[in-house]
Amino acid sequence: MIDIELLQALVRLVDESSLDSLEIERGATRIRLAKSPSGVVVPQALPGVASLPAEAAPPALSSGSEPASPAQSAPASEPPAANLVEVTSPMVGTFYRAPSPEAEPYVEVGTSVAAGDVLCVIEAMKLMNELECEVAGRIVEICADNAEPVDYGQLLFRVDPA
């Protein structure tokens, strides 16, 4: 059972501070609070973890961060479609395209993906966080460089939904 007073205190702490997000894990319970929407991300649920209703989250703020230079992009002959889904970083960390240095990348430009497919890993505080795609479609652009730092809300991928 989650202590409501603790949860309210954490919401106030994040809301009144310069923190963009806060994640706390106690045993089988994990609480993640964020000021800004996390983009197209499906959080990994831990067994026995209580979910917070959307109205319990603090209000969203615009991040205002500039995306990194594109690592890979669609061919110049393909104009960007207006219906592309932008996948942004849910946290500050290091962006990795593959699960290990010697492994193949999770996705390449042109890869077809299904909802729930892993797109990349973001390392934050020695924890590897898999970023899953929320929509089915095709990867049109990879907007971050492998093994480089990314900011909260930074554009990582563009997906053409199927």
**CA–CA gap between residue 70 and residue 151 (Å, rounded):** 15
Give, for all 162 residues of the chain, the pLDDT tens digit: 567 777 777 777 777 777 777 777 776 677 777 776 544 444 444 444 444 444 444 444 444 444 444 444 444 445 555 789 999 999 999 999 999 999 999 999 999 999 999 999 999 998 999 999 999 999 999 999 999 999 999 999 999 997
Task: Round to whole Å and give the CA distance between 24 and 31.
Answer: 5
- CA dist 41 and 33 (Å) reads 14
Return the beta strands (E) in 20-111 as ranges.
21-26, 29-34, 85-88, 93-96
CA dist 139 and 39 (Å) reads 16
Q: What is the DSSP letter of 56?
A: G
Angle at 34 between CA 32 and CA 35, to 5 degrees: 160
Tokens of 114: 């299904």
| Conformational region of residue 23, where left means phi above 0, alpha means psi within -120 to 50, and beta covers everything else | beta
Rg (CA), the chain: 17
pTM above 0.85, yes or no: no
pLDDT at 11 (0 to 100): 79
